[in-house]
Amino acid sequence: MGRIAALTRNPAMIALVAALAITGCASKKTPNSAADLGLNGAGAATPGSAQDFTVNIGDRIFFDTDSSSIRADAQTTLSRQAQWLNQYRQYAIVIEGHADERGTREYNLALGARRAAATRDFLVSKGVAANRLKTISYGKERPVAVCDDISCWSQNRRAVTTLSGAGS
């Protein structure tokens, strides 16, 4: 049920929840591609909407164990995010940093914070105004995938770019 919880934070995605519920806990893949959400391509979301951002751009990146380095695949996602955010400037942005459960609580709070900061810094380097960006760490408190194996842990080591403010 992890992806559902993550997506319901984004109001525009609520309509998708019912469809997702069918897939249940089989959240082995990254939940940020249009195909994965059953939308068959880009057309379903209004350009510039939060749904557009989550579905067509990808709201999250993933990290290696114990690392806050922005991987090559994550750089691609964040560059896309930056371009979109620079186009739709009405949004304020909160970057959530998360860790998997294979670390202790306090260290993981710090690690989640470091991931959120690294993500913020990358977006700023791509021209997103720093004053639009806030960060928060959830450590290992909000796993998106809940099972005890590597496929889940890798999904939980993430930074999620969430939109707020006017226009959503």
Binding site for other proteins (CB under 8 A): 1-2, 5, 66-68, 101-107, 109-111, 113-118, 121, 136-139, 141-146, 148
Dist. CA 140–CA 111, nearest whole Å: 10
How many CA atoms are closer than 13 Å to the CA of 13, on its beta-carbon side?
26
**Between 57 and 74, CB nearer to other proteins:** 74
Tokens, residue 131:
């004053």
Which residues lie closer than 8 Å to 47 by C-beta, 6 or more apart?
none
How many CA atoms are closer than 13 Å to the CA of 50, on its beta-carbon side?
23
Minimum CB separation of residue 7 from other proteins in Å reads 12
Minimum CB separation of residue 115 from other proteins in Å reads 8
**Between 81 and 137, CB nearer to other proteins:** 137
Minimum CB separation of residue 109 from other proteins in Å reads 5
**Between 52 and 121, CB nearer to other proteins:** 121
**Between 20 and 57, CB nearer to other proteins:** 20
**Between 36 and 52, CB nearer to other proteins:** 36
Which residue type, as a one-letter code, is found at position 161? T
Minimum CB separation of residue 152 from other proteins in Å reads 10
Which residue type, as a one-letter code, is found at position 114? R
Minimum CB separation of residue 30 from other proteins in Å reads 16
Strand partners, 96: 136, 160
CA distances to 6, 85, 89, 118, 150 from 127, rounded to whole Å, are: 27, 9, 12, 15, 34
